[in-house]
């Protein structure tokens, strides 16, 4: 029990997490170099689920027990066992090539750029406020997808901003971020 508690927080937790990440990377490299490289995703996804089950399982076994018949760890462990079992089935199916080969990857770089854009949008929202940041995000987002009809782009931005102002800010009292810069200028 003490061992499980060690992994529950502090250095033990980080050691466990980093070990599992490193293990996943090593497994990916090994599979890609093997004869099953066409099944890399099909093998690594259940492998990560097994790691996830181990990680959550170790944390659950460290939960305090107060002599209950069904303590706080019982139900999570039940689901963890399910995840473990099903992941092993999927892993076995992939290893024995009973699964289809990995689907082809499309423009992953575009998705990554879009995710970065969303994160920047959230950061800008804190600085220049929801309305300006949203206008900037919508214009950039459409431009990045090669849309060039500026009339539609601008009317879309204005329309959405007006809708969110009246629907969320005025009617529903959602405290949309004003932005640190705007607040410091206009008070």
Partner 1 sequence: MDLLSNLMEGFGYLVGYQPIIAIVAGVILGILAGAMPGLSPSMGVALLVPFTYNLSPQVALILLVSIYIAANYGGSITAVTINTPGTPSAVVTSFDGYPLTLKGKAGIGLGTSLVSSTVGGIIGTIILIFFSVPLARLAVKLHPAEYFALAIFGLTTVASLGGKNWPKAFLAAMLGLLINTIGIDPISGVKRFTFGTYRLFDGFALIPALIGLFALSEVFTRIEEYKLDKGKEAEFEKTQWPTFLDYWKLKFTIVKSSILGTLIGIFPGAGATIAAFLSYDLAKKSSKDPDSFGKGNPDGVAAAEAANSSSVGGALVPLLALGIPGSATTAVLVGALMIHDLVPGPLLFVERPDIIYSLFAALLIANIVMLVLGLFGARLWIKVTVIPKKVLLPAILAISIVGSFAVNYSFFDVGTCIAFGIAGWLLKKFGIPGAPIVLGMVLGKLAETNFRRAVIMGGYDVFFTRPVSLILLLLAILSFGVPLYQSHKATKKEKAAAAEAAEKK
Instruction: Point out which residues bind partner 1 (CB under 8 A).
Output: 9, 13, 41-42, 45-46, 49, 56, 59-60, 63-64, 66, 68-72, 74-76, 79-80, 82-83, 86-87, 89-90, 93, 102-103, 105-108, 110-111, 114-115, 118-119, 121-122, 130, 134, 137-138, 141-142, 145-147, 152-153, 156, 160, 164, 167-168, 172, 174-176
- Which three-class secondary structure state does DSSP give residue 63? coil
Q: Quick one: 45 or 181, whose CB is closer to partner 1?
A: 45
| Shortest distance in whole angstroms from residue 30 CB to partner 1 | 19
Burial class (CB in 10 A: 0-12, 13-18, 19+), 20: middle
| Shortest distance in whole angstroms from residue 45 CB to partner 1 | 5
User: Which residues make Cβ contacts (< 8 Å) with residue 53, sequence separation at least 6?
Assistant: 80, 81, 83, 84, 87
For residue 151, what are the CA distances in angstroms to 130, 158, 164? 22, 11, 20
Is residue 58 within 8 A of residue 4, CB to CB? The reply is yes
| Shortest distance in whole angstroms from residue 129 CB to partner 1 | 13
Q: Quick one: 146 or 184, whose CB is closer to partner 1?
A: 146
Q: How far apart are CA 69 and CA 153, in angstroms?
A: 61
| Shortest distance in whole angstroms from residue 20 CB to partner 1 | 14
């Amino acid at each position: 029990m003490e061992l499980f508690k060690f992994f529950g927080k502090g250095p033990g937790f980080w050691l466990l997490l980093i070990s599992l990440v490193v293990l996943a990377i090593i497994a990916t490299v090994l599979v890609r170099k093997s004869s099953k490289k066409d099944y890399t995703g099909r093998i690594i996804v259940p492998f990560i689920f097994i790691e996830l089950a181990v990680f959550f399982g170790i944390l659950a076994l460290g939960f305090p027990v107060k002599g209950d018949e069904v303590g706080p760890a019982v139900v999570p462990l039940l689901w963890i066992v399910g995840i473990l079992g099903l992941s092993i089935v999927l892993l076995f199916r992939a290893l024995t090539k009973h699964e289809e080969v990995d689907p082809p990857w499309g423009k992953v770089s575009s998705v990554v750029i879009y995710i970065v854009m969303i994160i920047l949008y959230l950061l800008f929202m804190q600085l220049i406020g929801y309305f300006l940041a949203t206008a900037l995000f919508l214009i950039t987002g459409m431009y990045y997808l090669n849309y060039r009809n500026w009339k539609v782009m601008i009317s879309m931005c204005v329309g959405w901003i007006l809708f969110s102002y009246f629907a969320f800010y005025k009617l529903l009292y959602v405290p949309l971020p004003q932005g640190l810069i705007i607040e410091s200028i206009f008070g």
